[in-house]
Structure 1
Amino acid sequence: MKKIFALLTALIIFPFSAQAFDFEEGTHYEVVKQTATATPEVKEFFSFYCPHCFKFEPLMTNLKQKLPEQVKIKKVHVNFIGKEMGAELTQAYAAAEILKVEDKLSSLIFDQIHTQDKAINGRAGVLELFEKAGVDKQEAQNALASFPVSGLASQMKRDTETFNIRGVPTLIVNGKYKVNTGSIRSNEEFVALVTFLTQKKN
């Protein structure tokens, strides 16, 4: 967590850098799997209950704008923070993806937890947030109970276990490389490192 805080601070203090970057395995990234995905992708493991994930959102928004269009960014909500509500919000995020309101719902959830400092009270509280995101309550209930949403939530749980995620935010690039965020000193370097890893062939 201290490394994430240091990164966030550094990105504010050093928003731009003219230096050329030379990224090294073991310093800037780690190899966590031997085989990369067929197409470039970035998976961000996060939790709505994680304050560092909340502060990380603008950096991910900027990254999404800077990466080539063919590089897909996938967000994976983890269950291990927030007790029983961790899994509930994984289900909620999966439903939001299916309903294509994930950005709206994410903003509302982060705001309620970290800005308003208010708890989300179970499924009823989740449904209230869907309504604020413009989704009819019955439509949200149907989505939350649907097979596609359950399948997507289960996939998020499997991904968390597959990559042995123990802290968030964590970025896995091309299913093979884990970004060492503590090594990064600027926003520009962050974008450059992730871009480098999406293009890395071995």
Structure 2
Amino acid sequence: MKKFISLFFVALLLPLTQAFAADYSDGNGYTAIKNPVRTDDPNKVEVVEIFWYGCPHCYSLEPIVSAWKKDIADDVDFKYMPAVFGRGWLNHAKAFYVADLLGVEDKLRADLFNAIHVEGKRLNSEDDLAEFFAKYGVSEDTFRKQFNSFAVNSRLSQADAKIRAYGARGVPGIIVNGKYLVTAATAGGNNNITSVVDFLIEKERQARQ
């Protein structure tokens, strides 16, 4: 009987959920990008989070996105992209690419956010970041070589060009398939962002068919 009641309420809620999702449109939930940006893999739906380690809103969104991305389908290609909208953002962006190139970004991401937003550490200088990375087995010499490398600077330039093409002016922002920008403002809060992203992923799947 309990199972029947549960299924009954799910059946009642489903049309409401679908109706709410159907209300998403350009300007309501997301913003359509005027000139879509080419994605890396045309066979997948690309989802890109534009962020800054020093952003409190990115810090608040992090656990939501972290939980969401654990269950994404195989046809979704998720990636992070650091933005540089201010002078103090550059070293954090470089730190992301160092961590990504060395394969430790997943290990230190949450800790770096916590160090900045909970422990009150700025971690804005190359020296401070080198010390932080040492906790994850990255020697100071290795960190500094990567931090000032052509590979890191090249990826920074590519990311900057894409972010400008997206028309993003702040963080956090999530780009779906190079066509749509989702922010807390368009989605009605951080907690709604992944719902809008899911809607747009399905929209892109249907467009392919």
User: Which of the five TM-score ranges fits, normalised by the shorter chain?
Assistant: 0.7 to 0.9
TM-score, normalised to structure 2, is: 0.77
Aligned with residue 178 of structure 1, among 181, 192, 195: 181
Q: How does 1:18-37 map to 2 (within 5 A)?
A: 19-20=17-18, 21-22=21-22, 23-35=24-36, 37=39
User: Counterpart in 2 of 1:77?
Assistant: 82
Distance 1:112 1:186, change over 3 A: closer
For residue 104 of structure 1, report the CA deviation from its aligned partner: 2.5
Corresponding residue of 1:60: 65
Q: 1:34 deviation in Å?
A: 4.4
Measured at CA, do residues 70 and 136 of structure 1 come closer, stay the same or move farther in structure 2, by a change above 3 Å?
Answer: farther
* One-letter identity of the residue aligned with 1:31: A
Query: What is the distance in 1 between the residues matched to 2:137 and 2:188?
Result: 38
Give the aligned partner of residue 87 of structure 1. Answer: 90
- When normalised by structure 1's length, the TM-score is 0.80
State percent identity of aligned pairs: 31
1:124 has 2:117 as partner: no
* Cα drift, residue 59 of structure 1: 0.9
Q: Deviations over 1:24-43 (max 9, x none)?
A: 23212221044463231111
- Give the root-mean-square deviation of aligned CA atoms: 2.3
Partner residue, 1:48: 53
The structure number with the bigger radius of gyration is 2
**Secondary structure of 2:174's aligned partner:** strand
Q: Secondary structure at the match of 1:135?
A: coil
Q: Is residue 45–residue 75 contact of structure 1 (8 Å, CA) maintained in 2?
A: yes
The answer for unaligned runs of 5 or more in structure 2 is: 1-12
Q: Secondary structure at the match of 1:75?
A: strand
